[in-house]
Structure 1
Amino acid sequence: MSGQGGKTKESIIEAAIELFTTKGFNGTTIRDIAARAKLNPANISYYFHGKQGLLEACLVSFFEAYLSLLDEEKRKIEWEDPEICLHRAIRKILVFQSDNHLLTRLVWREITIDSQVSREIISSYLMKERYYLKALTSAALGKNYSALPVSMMIIQLKGMLSTPFLNSHYVSEVWGMHPKDPYFIEKYYESVIDWIQATMNVQKSALFMEHLSSPVIKTV
């Protein structure tokens, strides 16, 4: 965004994110958003055609940036170590969500609510997310690993990446940290990578045991 119009739209989106997160979509009015952004309510109708259009703009802004990070690493698996690409993608996603913790919480909460507003716009983004995560995870696991279904690993990984931001109050109460804190992101990233490594070790062990139990074929 550039120019005065861009600054106005950014102010409206920032105010909406804060209010939608704290008061909920239904509990927030156009006047609330305009007052927080210190603008005339007519600006919201002009740029976003109402509150629903504003929520859609928030969702789009999140997923476009989020998916670009996954796409960037997915492209690199052709010439870089896929496992490094997966690790780097995870780190980028955690940092991005931390830097945009209010928007992140809003987006994942809208998905859990499964409202008509979010369902129409989010479904295609979630399909793209699944595609990128599957490509990165499958490449990191390698073609020889078949003991663990990739789809199950993606579900577990997805939960790890979103839960701290969806339940930031729990993180604060239990660990005394907030997902926006860089220290938390560093330690949490290490935990996710440890889980991935442990999962891959289980995968390798299962493959090894499968090899040992296979009947020996004798050739004459």
Structure 2
Amino acid sequence: MELNQKQIAILQVAEKLFSENGFDGTSVRQIAKEAEINIAMISYYFGSKEKLLEALLFYRGSDFKMQIETILYNENHGFLETIDQVVEMVVRRIHNNRRIYKIVHFEFSNLGRTIDFENYINFKKQNFQILERFIQEGQEAGVFSKNVNIPLIKTTILGSYFNLYYNKKFFQAMHNLQDQFNFEEYVEKELIPHIQQTIKALLTYEV
């Protein structure tokens, strides 16, 4: 799916409104008004609000495979250094794109929704398989432990971030993070190094 600049601009507006108001709480009319276009253009490009969300998922997920492969197959770095880079990339990516993750988490659990998540699920499967192969290569090289629960590695990364994100006010109070700048700094200087340390410990731990 190739997207032109006008489509991308519409998707960015829709992402903002979906995140603020929810999918059901956002109308095509609101998106058109915010994007300063007419409703017919949204219908022309996407067909429906549901298809617009599907296009948004594609837009935000399409370059992840390229990013992770660029890191994993850089032969100048060892396995542990590469894992550090993967963690940093994943956490920064979900932090920068947290709006779309918020939308997906809500809509994905809505069993009555008619949105087609098949492509999104396939993206996630492919990305996991790339990481899985890398960890297996690390196991074969004797760097990573043989008894690693590989499916839970990415879960640990995502869960650590979203625990912070969804409890943002608590962490701000606990660590005296007075504004958004302090919170961003905490993610960079505290959360990312902590997750890197945790993942390396899990991958190298021997029972």
Bin of the TM-score, shorter chain as denominator length: 0.7 to 0.9
Give 2:92's match in structure 1, choosing from 89, 95, 114. Answer: 95
Query: Take 1:111 and 1:67, find their aligned partners in 2: how far apart are those partners?
Result: 21
Query: Take 2:21 and 2:160, find their aligned partners in 1: how far apart are those partners?
Result: 20
TM-score (norm 2): 0.79
Query: Take 1:108 and 1:164, find their aligned partners in 2: how far apart are those partners?
Result: 14
Alignment of 1:56-67 (within 5 A): 56-67=54-65
More helix by share: 1
Alignment of 1:28-43 (within 5 A): 28-43=26-41
Answer yes or no: is the 8 Å Cα contact 2:50–2:114 preserved in 1. Answer: no
1:199 corresponds to:
202
TM-superposed deviation, 1:83: 2.1
2:49 corresponds to:
51
Answer yes or no: is the 8 Å Cα contact 1:97–1:165 preserved in 2. Answer: no
Answer yes or no: is the 8 Å Cα contact 2:19–2:103 preserved in 1. Answer: yes
If asked which structure has higher relative contact order (CA below 8 Å, sep 6+), I would say: 2
TM-score (norm 1): 0.75
1:187 corresponds to:
190
Answer yes or no: is the 8 Å Cα contact 1:74–1:135 preserved in 2. Answer: no
Query: Take 2:43 and 2:83, find their aligned partners in 1: how far apart are those partners?
Result: 41
Alignment of 1:155-194 (within 5 A): 155-161=152-158, 164-165=161-162, 168-170=165-167, 172-176=168-172, 181-194=184-197
TM-superposed deviation, 1:137: 2.5
Query: Take 2:163 and 2:31, find their aligned partners in 1: how far apart are those partners?
Result: 22
SS class of match (1:117): coil
Deviation by residue 1:134-186 (Cα, 9 ceiling, x = unmatched):
1232234444455423xx2432433422553487231x122115697143133
Count, aligned residues: 197
Answer yes or no: is the 8 Å Cα contact 2:145–2:203 preserved in 1. Answer: no
Summarize the Cα distance change of 1:21–1:132 in structure 2 as closer, same or farther, 3 Å threshold. same
1:215 corresponds to:
none
Answer yes or no: is the 8 Å Cα contact 2:91–2:192 preserved in 1. Answer: yes
Give 1:85's match in structure 2, choosing from 67, 82, 86. Answer: 82
Give 2:127's match in structure 1, choosing from 126, 129, 132. Answer: 129
Structure exhibiting the larger radius of gyration computed from Cα positions: 1
Query: Take 1:79 and 1:190, find their aligned partners in 2: how far apart are those partners?
Result: 21
Query: Take 1:163 and 1:110, find their aligned partners in 2: how far apart are those partners?
Result: 21
Query: Take 1:183 and 1:147, find their aligned partners in 2: how far apart are those partners?
Result: 33
Summarize the Cα distance change of 1:61–1:182 in structure 2 as closer, same or farther, 3 Å threshold. farther
2:103 corresponds to:
106
Q: Is there any run of 5+ residues in structure 1 with no aligned partner, and where?
A: 207-220
Runs of 4+ in 1 over 4 A off after TM superposition: 112-116, 177-180
